[in-house]
């Protein structure tokens, strides 16, 4: 019999709808039930693509005896961390404070006020490797709650106070990073850079997307050569080789899907050979943009290939019928991690024949011993194929054969923030690589966010309906099948969706995207500011948790704090609104101190600081939309590598009664004679207009025509 999770919009929660555990969704009603019964609360946090979440579910939550222990002695709440990042953040802080580490599944025990008193991650069904079994833990906590309630209450009080003190220690003071600070951050990154294998630090290695964007911007601003460059950086300020070394290693290793495109979540080893196979939308959106910007700076053909294959993966495998992009693909198929992706030499021969199979095995590093488990190998491409046409043919055959396997599960909920990142990446990639279908896909996802996540209950042109009664300027975080979820958006949603809309405006010149970005950023300033120059992760009118989370550090995605700073700075460059620029500068002040200790944790803030130091440069392209000269100037502007460069394009303005146009950056920018022109500005102070591609390219750091070298 299905439990309360059957009607959830979260695929992760629905995976537990058939459990014998009497699950509740996160709600005040659940805590009220704990008070009524006078029992503790068990909070289980995970997500759909989490391998160990599935393991604990099969071992414990599907077990009748363990479920009975939970049902008799606890109110059990199941949380999708992707729907409720605020809940996840609060209890992950508690878990790390109590155990020294975190992860998922996260298992937290709290009182009826939500105050945690014990926490951990995965617990096995029987004692194992020094870990207590989950039933032993449940029994011990039940006895403590019954017999030593004062100790439990004291622990909850101490933990909550410690978390509050940690939160109060976060403050944004001082000034944004200077050029010297940014050079020092590059030098610090150089110290942890893996010269041999790319990336930073030791295994496991996660894709350092935000750090790579910072390094690309630093290389552009400091004038380091965009070509050549050894894989071994020659000096601490030589940032581009660290990008090249890391991007090439990730793309050629097993973390990248050599058949279907797209990146897995991370590599369990330091050579990018064996991934944790789940594929997340946010990783692929961020990496697509990084590889695009690497290609824009260097023209590297590997970068272009990865951009094209990853964009194809997003449109083929991640797009939902409503036009958004799904959250993730699982790591497991048929209950086995990586089974869908790994190959043996014999499997290659069975599909391709003896000669082609052995050729493909050598190319893809598929060995008799295997590089993964049970004699199977992940697919790598450590060198380019000598026969590109042969590889293209065999790749299609292998892809088609793999499609006959049982695929991993897909979490098809639409997360606002991650779709914002995908919109930005696809819009830019479509424009720079002349793939209008990608721009259309970005526009379609943006339309879905407006209709469902920002809508007011009115169906859009495709009949998709937004949440009834929702304010027109407030977002919900998730939707599924065109139906909005009930969770309020958090800071990263507003900031990343604004980022996507701003990128879409730069590419299309459609002014509504700039306007909607402004609406979202006004909400950020009104409801998320902490009064000290930074931001809370939840709005001032959102549900109150045991504390209000506030974290400026990046994780797998840009922090909401730093993403807001980036978007505010870009919006100010388009509009000249001082309030938004000042807010961005104040928010970036915290990066100075954090980068001095751990620059890998504030890559997005360092990237924004590069833009701040450079201006950012603003390009206004004016000319008739149907004039090829306008289109060429627009293309060159978008190819600019100047950090955080913003681009506005539109026809020569017809003065309104107020003497203004809708986009401030385009105001008072006439043609030069009868020629389209580009104005390059900083804070609305412009150089003389230019009318040729070559002159504009020199001013914005553009490499030239967007073709591979």
Q: Per residue in 314-334, pLDDT tens?
A: 999 999 999 999 999 999 898
Q: Is the pLDDT of residue 472 over 60?
A: yes
Q: Per residue in 662-701, pLDDT tens?
A: 899 999 999 999 999 999 999 999 999 999 999 999 999 9
Q: Per residue in 617-626, pLDDT tens?
A: 999 999 999 9
Please tell me the predicted confidence (pLDDT) of residue 471.
53
| Residue 659's pLDDT band (cuts 50, 70, 90) | very low
| Residue 205's pLDDT band (cuts 50, 70, 90) | very high
| Residue 462's pLDDT band (cuts 50, 70, 90) | very low
Q: What letter would DSSP give residue 5?
A: G
> Is 617-700 CATH 3.40.30?
yes
| Proportion of the chain above pLDDT 90, given as a percent | 85
Helices (H), 598-670: 603-614, 628-638
Q: Per residue in 497-518, pLDDT tens?
A: 999 999 999 999 999 999 999 9
Q: Which residue has the tokens 């915290």?
A: 590
Please tell me the predicted confidence (pLDDT) of residue 227.
37
Please tell me the predicted confidence (pLDDT) of residue 284.
98
Please tell me the predicted confidence (pLDDT) of residue 131.
82
Window from 163-167, 169-173, 376-380, 537-541 with minimum mean pLDDT: 169-173
Q: Is the pLDDT of residue 86 over 80?
A: yes
Could you please state the CATH topology (level 3) that the domain comprising 411-612 is classified under. Answer: Glycosyltransferase (1.50.10)
Do the beta carbons of residue 348 and residue 398 sit within 8 Å?
A: yes
| Residue 163's pLDDT band (cuts 50, 70, 90) | confident
Please tell me the predicted confidence (pLDDT) of residue 554.
95
Q: Is the pLDDT of residue 649 over 60?
A: yes
Confirm whether 4-168 and 617-700 share one CATH topology: yes
Phi and psi for 497 in degrees, rounded to 5?
-65, -40
Please tell me the predicted confidence (pLDDT) of residue 709.
31
Instruction: Measure the CA–CA gap between 88 and 94, rounded to whole angstroms.
Output: 10
- Ordered by start, the domain boundaries in the chain are 4-168, 194-305+327-410, 411-612, 617-700
Q: Which CATH number fits domain 4-168: 3.30.930.10, 3.30.70.1140, 3.20.20.140, 3.40.30.10?
A: 3.40.30.10
Q: Per residue in 282-325, pLDDT tens?
A: 999 999 999 999 999 999 999 999 999 999 999 999 999 999 99
Instruction: Measure the CA–CA gap between 201 and 67, rounded to whole angstroms.
Output: 41
Q: Is the pLDDT of residue 467 over 70?
A: no
| Residue 172's pLDDT band (cuts 50, 70, 90) | low
| Residue 704's pLDDT band (cuts 50, 70, 90) | low
Mean pLDDT of 439-458: 87
Q: Per residue in 575-589, pLDDT tens?
A: 999 999 999 999 999
Q: Is 76 helix (H, G, I), strand (E, B) or coil?
A: strand
Please tell me the predicted confidence (pLDDT) of residue 28.
95
HEC readout, 213-280: HHHHHHHHHHCCCCCCCCCCCCCCCCCHHHHHHHHHHHHHCCCECCCCCCECCEECCCCCCCEECCEE
Please tell me the predicted confidence (pLDDT) of residue 130.
78
Q: Per residue in 14-49, pLDDT tens?
A: 999 999 999 999 999 999 999 999 999 999 999 988
Mean pLDDT for the chain overall: 91
Please tell me the predicted confidence (pLDDT) of residue 173.
72
Query: In Å, what is the CA distance from 616 to each residue of 568, 665, 693?
Result: 12, 13, 20
Q: What are the structure tokens assigned to 477, written together?
A: 């975080």
Instruction: Measure the CA–CA gap between 665 and 678, rounded to whole angstroms.
Output: 11
Angle at 380 between CA 375 and CA 385, to 5 degrees: 125
Instruction: Measure the CA–CA gap between 564 and 574, rounded to whole angstroms.
Output: 15
> Which is more confidently placed, 166 or 514?
514
CB atoms within 10 A of CB 315: 16
pTM: 0.92
């Amino acid at each position: 019999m299905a439990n309360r999770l059957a009607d959830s919009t979260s695929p992760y929660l629905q995976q537990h709808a058939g459990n014998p555990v009497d699950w509740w969704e996160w709600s005040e009603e659940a805590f009220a039930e704990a008070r009524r019964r006078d029992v503790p609360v068990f909070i289980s946090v995970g997500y759909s693509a989490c391998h160990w979440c599935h393991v604990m579910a099969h071992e414990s939550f599907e077990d009748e005896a363990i479920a009975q222990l939970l049902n008799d002695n606890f109110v059990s709440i199941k949380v999708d961390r992707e729907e409720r990042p605020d809940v996840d953040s609060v209890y992950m802080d508690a878990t790390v404070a109590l155990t020294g580490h975190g992860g998922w599944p996260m298992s937290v025990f709290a009182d009826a006020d939500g105050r945690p008193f014990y926490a951990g991650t995965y617990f096995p069904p029987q004692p194992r490797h020094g870990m207590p079994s989950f039933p032993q833990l449940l029994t011990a906590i039940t006895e403590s709650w019954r017999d030593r309630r004062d100790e439990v209450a004291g622990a909850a009080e101490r933990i909550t106070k410690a978390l509050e003190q940690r939160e109060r220690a976060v403050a944004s003071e001082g000034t944004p990073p200077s050029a010297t600070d940014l050079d020092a951050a590059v030098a610090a990154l150089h110290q942890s850079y893996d010269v041999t294998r790319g990336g930073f630090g030791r295994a496991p290695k996660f894709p350092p997307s935000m750090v790579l964007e910072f390094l690309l911007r630093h290389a552009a601003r400091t004038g380091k050569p965009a070509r050549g460059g050894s894989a071994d950086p020659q000096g601490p300020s030589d940032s581009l080789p660290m990008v090249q070394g890391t991007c090439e290693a990730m793309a050629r290793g097993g973390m990248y899907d050599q058949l279907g495109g797209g990146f897995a979540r991370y590599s369990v080893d330091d050579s990018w050979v064996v991934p944790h196979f789940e594929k997340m939308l946010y990783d692929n959106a961020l990496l697509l943009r990084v590889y695009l910007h690497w290609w824009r700076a260097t023209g590297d053909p590997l970068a272009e290939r990865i951009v094209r294959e990853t964009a194809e993966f997003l449109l083929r495998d991640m797009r939902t019928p409503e036009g958004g992009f799904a959250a993730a693909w699982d790591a497991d198929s048929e209950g086995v991690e990586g089974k869908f992706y790994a190959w043996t030499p014999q499997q290659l021969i069975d599909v391709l024949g003896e000669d082609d199979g052995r050729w493909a095995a050598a190319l893809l590093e598929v060995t008799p011993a295997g590089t993964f488990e049970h004699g199977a190998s992940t697919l790598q491409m450590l060198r380019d194929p000598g026969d590109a046409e042969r590889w293209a043919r065999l790749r299609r055959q292998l892809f088609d054969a793999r499609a006959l396997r049982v695929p991993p599960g897909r979490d098809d909920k639409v997360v606002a923030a991650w779709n914002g990142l995908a919109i930005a990446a696809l819009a830019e990639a479509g424009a720079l690589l002349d793939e209008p279908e990608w721009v259309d896909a970005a526009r379609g996802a943006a339309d879905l966010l407006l209709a469902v996540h920002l809508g007011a209950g009115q169906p859009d042109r495709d009949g998709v309906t937004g949440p009834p009664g929702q304010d027109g300027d407030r977002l919900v975080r998730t939707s599924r099948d065109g139906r909005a979820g009930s969770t309020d958006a958090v800071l990263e949603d507003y900031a990343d969706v604004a980022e996507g809309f701003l990128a879409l405006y730069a590419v299309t010149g459609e002014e509504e995207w700039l306007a909607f970005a402004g609406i979202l950023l006004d909400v950020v300033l009104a409801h998320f500011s902490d009064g000290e120059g930074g931001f809370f992760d939840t709005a001032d009118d959102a549900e109150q948790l045991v504390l209000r989370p506030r974290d400026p550090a990046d994780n797998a995605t840009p922090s909401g704090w730093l993403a807001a700073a980036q978007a505010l700075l870009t919006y100010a460059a388009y509009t000249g609104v001082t309030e938004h620029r000042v807010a961005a500068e104040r928010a970036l002040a915290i990066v100075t101190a954090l980068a001095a200790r751990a620059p890998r944790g504030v890559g997005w803030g360092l990237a924004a600081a590069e833009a701040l130091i450079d201006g950012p440069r603003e390009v206004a392209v004016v000319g008739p939309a149907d004039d090829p000269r306008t289109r060429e100037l627009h293309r060159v502007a978008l190819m600019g590598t100047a950090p955080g460069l913003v681009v506005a394009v539109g026809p020569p303005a017809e003065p309104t009664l107020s003497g203004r146009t809708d986009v401030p950056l385009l105001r008072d920018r006439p043609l030069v004679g009868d020629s389209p022109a580009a104005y390059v500005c900083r804070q609305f102070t412009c150089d003389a207009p230019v009318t040729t591609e070559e002159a504009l390219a020199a001013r914005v750091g553009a490499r030239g025509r967007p073709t591979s070298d």
